[in-house]
A and B are shown apart, each in its own frame.
Chain A
Amino acid sequence: MEFEKKLNRLQEIVTDMEKGDLSLEDSLKFFEEGVKLSRDCQSELSAAELKVKKLIGKDAEGNFQEEAFEVDEDSDD
């Protein structure tokens, strides 16, 4: 699931839980899902290193070929 969808789903779950009309079973189910979502979101957000790749072309089957890209700090264009 995309990050935004996860975040939206998390907010939806919180709103539903705060209404207070869920059964304990449903609440626990929601809580479990919410915790997983918030964990996913957090881990995605706290990635330390930005991943930058460069497209170098397509292979014979038409798949994109990428390679890691390092910023040339000395470039001045």
Chain B
Amino acid sequence: MLAMSSGKSQSDTLDLFKSINKAKAKMKPPVADDVQTVKAKTVSEVNREIKSVLEGHFKVSFWVEGEVSNFTAHSSGHFYFSLKDQRSQIQAVMFRGHNARLKFKPKNGMKVLAKARVSAYEPRGSYQLYCEWMEPAGVGALQVAFEQLKAKLQSEGLFAQDRKKPIPAFPQKIAIVTSPTGAAIRDMIHVLQRRYPSVHVLLIPCVVQGQGAAPDIVRALSLADQTQSDVIIFGRGGGSKEDLWAFNEEVVARKIAELKTPSISAVGHEIDFTIGDFVADLRAPTPSAAAEVVAKNSKEVLETVKVQLKRMQLSLANLIRRQKEQVYQSNRQLTRTTVDMLGAHKKEVLNLNKRLVDPQKNLDQQRIRTDEWMDRLTQAMQFYYSNKKHQVLNLSQKLVNPKDKIQRLNDQVLYFEKQLLNATDYQLKSQSQNLKSLMVQLDQISPLKTVDRGYAIVADEKKQIISSTKKIKINSNYKVQLKDGVVEVKALRVDKESLWNLKKN
């Protein structure tokens, strides 16, 4: 109905209706006769058709932006309103089931971003938006701004892991930048009280949401950085995107990046991410979680300390036991050595004692020894003199007259002369005897003596003696020596036989 009467409908919806009108125009103009024959559509049918065309076109829901007007929250719980821009408006409905989830209450004049589908309401013949979700339009812009700032800071390297400072394991002093009245500080103090009561907490109060929150957070962070704290936790409890928005501001992000103190972001709930989370050295999902990160369970640490103390005591006890043993050992060795030494000394003393004599006794002994020596000396002197006397006697006996010696030598010469003569005579006699016997022997072995006994000697012309037939030359002349002369012969023949074996011829 709205669409039919208004030329301000959205363009695609307008196009749709134009096409419907065209379709109608193609039909024959209605005439009275036809009224009976033509089957007229009912209004309901038309609206049903329109509805199905609309739903066929807008198959899925889409985002639409506009200003809320004519807003009514019906007693049934449903919202009825219109969305409009400068030129057009469209009716809209948001049922109770959907609007219960909204985090804000729409008001006239509020710009919203609605997720809706289009359909027709048959009873009234109106088309309208059926809204499923709605949010203030500004948040969409914030989302865009968030993504843009995130990309920008990321490209500057503000989120880089290598610029993140380590969170100290046992911080002594924690600076917390948050609202003094918020849930965040309360939660963190509870956790720290329970797990790490020895830590000092310094709250730097600041405004965490609304106008001026960002510069106040920057101021508080600057202060916190000067308090010589070991770690800074900044954040707030959960809230809407706008509530958390200050932590997405560029000034806040840059201040966090500048901090010299290690920082932990603790903003909202686990699902909430802010730019501050990316810049901080550590992101804790919630304020309580941030407190847990810095609060090592002091009971566990206490246990560790006690264990260290025990180990130390044990080591010392061991060392003392070892040292004791050593001292005991040394003591035993010392005792043994001392006893040995004492024994040795005792023996030596005994020996010395034995060797130690009464000086009077010694003197007596010396006296006796002197007497002995005197006796021995006297004896020796007597022996010496008698010995000398004897020698003198002997020598005087050995003294003789030189005349006698000459006579004796003369006799000796005579004796030797006689001996020599005798020997020469004997030598001559024996030599001539020898010669005679040799001459007899020589005579007996002479070749002439053999010839006397009937043998002959054959020689050649040069008087060389021939003893073998091998040297005989036939028809040569030879001389044969016999007992009483020489025969000249000529060799006629040589037989190898013996003379007595030759045949008579």
The chain A residues found within 8 Å of chain B, CB to CB, are 2-4, 7, 10-11, 13-14, 17-18, 20, 22, 24, 27-28, 30-31, 34-35, 38, 41-42, 44-55, 64, 66, 69, 71-73, 75-77
4 nearest A-B residue pairs (beta carbon): A17-B315, A47-B198, A77-B182, A4-B170
Which A residues lie within 8 Å of B312 (CB)?
Answer: 13-14, 17, 30-31, 34-35, 38
Report how far A18 CA is from B237 CA in the complex, Å: 49
Q: In terms of DSSP, what is the predominant structure of the interface of chain B? A: helix
Which B residues lie within 8 Å of A20 (CB)?
Answer: 315, 318-319
Known: A46-B302, A64-B227. A51 touches B200 (CB 8 A): yes
Check if A27 sits within 8 Å of B308, measured CB to CB: no
Closest Cβ of chain B: how far from A19's Cβ, in Å? Answer: 9
Size of B's binding interface in residues, CB under 8 A: 48
Closest Cβ of chain B: how far from A27's Cβ, in Å? Answer: 5
Report how far A55 CA is from B315 CA in the complex, Å: 47
Residue from the list B169, B189, B318 in contact with A71, Cβ < 8 A = B189
Which B residues lie within 8 Å of A28 (CB)?
Answer: 316
Residue from the list B182, B304, B309 in contact with A35, Cβ < 8 A = B309
Is B53 engaged at the interface, CB distance under 8 Å to the other chain?
no
Report how far A72 CA is from B190 CA in the complex, Å: 12
Report how far A47 CA is from B200 CA in the complex, Å: 11
Check if B172 sits within 8 Å of A7, measured CB to CB: no
Check if B198 sits within 8 Å of A73, measured CB to CB: no
Check if B189 sits within 8 Å of A42, measured CB to CB: no
Check if A45 sits within 8 Å of B186, measured CB to CB: no
**B 177-217 contacts with A by CB, 8 A:** 179-186, 189-190, 192-193, 196-205
Which A residues lie within 8 Å of B313 (CB)?
Answer: 31
11 residue pairs bridging A and B, Cβ less than 8 Å apart: A3-B172, A14-B315, A24-B320, A27-B316, A34-B312, A45-B302, A46-B198, A47-B198, A50-B192, A55-B202, A77-B181
Check if A42 sits within 8 Å of B186, measured CB to CB: no
Check if B305 sits within 8 Å of A10, measured CB to CB: yes
Check if A24 sits within 8 Å of B319, measured CB to CB: yes
Check if B301 sits within 8 Å of A69, measured CB to CB: no
Check if A4 sits within 8 Å of B169, measured CB to CB: yes
Given contacts A18-B315, A44-B198, 16 further A-B contacts (CB under 8 A): A13-B312, A14-B315, A18-B311, A28-B316, A30-B312, A34-B308, A45-B298, A45-B301, A47-B197, A49-B193, A53-B200, A53-B201, A54-B205, A55-B205, A55-B227, A64-B227
Residue from the list B170, B190, B319 in contact with A22, Cβ < 8 A = B319
Closest Cβ of chain B: how far from A62's Cβ, in Å? Answer: 10
Report how far A46 CA is from B186 CA in the complex, Å: 22
